[in-house]
Amino acid sequence: MIVGMIFGEVGYSSFNFVVNKNYNLQKGEYVKVNHEVYGWVLAQVTSLRRYNEMYSLSVITGESVPREDASERIIAFAKVIGYLDDRGMLKSPKIPFKPGEKVYKADAELIRRTLKLEKRRGAYLGLLEGHNIPVYLNVNKLVQKHISVLAKTGAGKSYTVGVLVEELLEKKVPVVIIDPHGEYSSLKEPNQNPKELELMGKFKISPKGYENVVEYTPNPGVNPQCDRKLALDITKLSINDFLEMLPGKVSDTQKGILFEALKVVRSYGKFTLKDLIDVIQEHESKGKWNLITNLEMLKDSKIFEGPPVTPADLVKRGQASIINLRGVAPEIQELVVARLSKEIFEDRKLGKIPPLLFLIEEAHNFAPERGFGTKSSSHILRTIASEGRKFGMGLCVVTQRPARIDKSILSQCNTQIILKVTNPNDLRAISQSIEGFTSELEEEIKQLEPGIALIVGDVVEQPIFVNIRVRKSRHGGASVEVVKEPKKKKVEGKSWIWRIFSKI
């Protein structure tokens, strides 16, 4: 279908065209031009303007008379994406387009081939914005090369991540989800939101609840619906792990006591935190008391109580494991993330568990940028970001504060899924961590509508805007959190920290 004609002075990387009167062209739409040398070249409409000769400056000031048939015209500006050469490589034209050349609506096949979109395979995230073309992303590239999902609160991060998890579940890729707000258990239930059900036809999907979703929590009191209590394995901790974990300062003498006591309890084979404390109690040095207080705090958190959850429990083909941290003190949340990510990474390196995606919501809390505090989980997450892909452990970091997350982690993510961002510091952090990120894209991100994501990185040939599909399962985000999150529990969490620091 012809949508317009190129006019004026024309280059090879962009062109202006007059839009046909009967065609309702939209910003973002893909168009094609048959170039005399290169054949079909794909371009994208990046802006539209209205022009009416009747109201041109010279007519208004009386300096000229308009033609009799003068009327309103739409003028479009299109940026050239390129053409495919004989080997299927995307190339940019070097010879300008001809004025007078016809501009056509790009067909799905050309768009798909030029943008290297998978056909029917991969993770189905939604439709190419402005087109009815499904976007499937290569699952291997997505998972192994790390993903960041960035946007302000309420822009649709968790919703999009929910869509991604649904797709990974269908492809049998194991996912472990660090879920500080308890938003993901709703993956088990089919979507029944009437507005979203109406949209399912457009996306060609139907409601579905996922059975193979197992929910763990360190705090079953606050989250009684969870399938299993999360307990960490104390026997796997090295002396350094203990030192990193203890909330108070530990002197050299105390380190010595701890070292000796660990040797004793290790000789038992299996041991508990209580066994360790009992052995330290026997020690003669006065220094032991501070150590005991520290360990008692850890014991109070009950995080080492019960049968430990192993990487093999969490990482199984076709299973999503949710670590629900709702109502858990921040220090314990960090400890959980640090321990689980470390144990999973170790077992993955040894090939004991299948390749997986380790997904972290509110990731800035677990790996903050320098100057925003240090967390026990930062170090291991940085290691996974730089080495995980070699061993088949993909990371997906989700955050509303790109400026506050560790920059080395952000820049190791090869796929960015970006929804609306307006904070200038966050925009700067995004543009600094992504190669070739243009100021035009920055402008676009500020104006994105909810549910529309910009996808950038290795998984796509060119940055694309995707209308994220509705979820098959229920979204447990935002509204649920506000209604269900009992404020009291949060305070309880805080008071735990307060207890530690007030006692030491």
* Residues in contact with ligand ADP by the rule CB under 6 A: 151, 153-159, 196, 450-451, 468, 470, 475, 477-478
Q: How far is the CB of 202 from Mg ion (least distance, A)?
A: 24
**Residue 4, binding choice from ligand ADP, Mg ion, none, Cβ under 5 to 8 Å by partner class:** none
Residue 153 binds: one of Mg ion, ligand ADP, none (C-beta under 5 to 8 A by kind):
ligand ADP
- In angstroms, give the least distance from the CB of 17 to ligand ADP: 32
Residues contacting residue 124 through CB under 8 Å, at least 6 positions apart:
134, 135, 136, 167, 469
The order of strands in the sheet holding 452-457 is 134-137, 123-128, 464-468, 452-457, 415-418, 147-150, 393-399, 356-360, 175-179, 320-324, 213-217, 228-229
**Which residues are near Mg ion by CB under 5 A?**
157-158
Residue nearest to Mg ion (CB): 158
CB of 176 to ligand ADP, least distance (A): 18
Bridge partners of residue 321, in order along the sequence? 176, 214
Dist CA 107 CA 93 (whole Å): 20
**Strands (E) located in 170-254:** 175-179, 213-217, 228-229
Compute the least distance from the CB of residue 126 to ligand ADP, in Å: 7
CB of 81 or CB of 418, closer to ligand ADP: 418
CB of 131 to Mg ion, least distance (A): 28
Nearer to ligand ADP, 93 or 156 (CB): 156
154 binds, among ligand ADP, Mg ion, none (CB under 5 to 8 A by kind): ligand ADP
Angle in degrees, 0-180, between the axes of helices 252-266 and 273-281, rounded to the nearest 10: 120
Return the number of the residue (158 or 321) whose C-beta is nearest ligand ADP: 158
Tokens 């029944």 — which residue? 192
Minimum distance from residue 152 beta carbon to Mg ion (Å):
10
Q: Which C-beta is closer to Mg ion: that of 84 or that of 470?
A: 470
Residue that is written with structure tokens 């973002």 in the block: 28
Task: Tell me which of Mg ion, ligand ADP, none is bound by residue 368, counting a contact when its beta carbon lies within the kind-specific cut-off of 5 to 8 angstroms.
Answer: none
> CA-based diameter of the chain, in Å?
105
The site partner of 5 among Mg ion, ligand ADP, none (C-beta below 5 to 8 Å per kind) is none
326 binds, among ligand ADP, Mg ion, none (CB under 5 to 8 A by kind): none
Site of tokens 């995606």: 357
State phi, psi for 175 to the nearest 5 degrees.
Answer: -130, 135
Pick the closer one to ligand ADP by CB: 144 or 399. 399
Q: Are 223 and 330 in contact (CB under 8 A)?
A: no
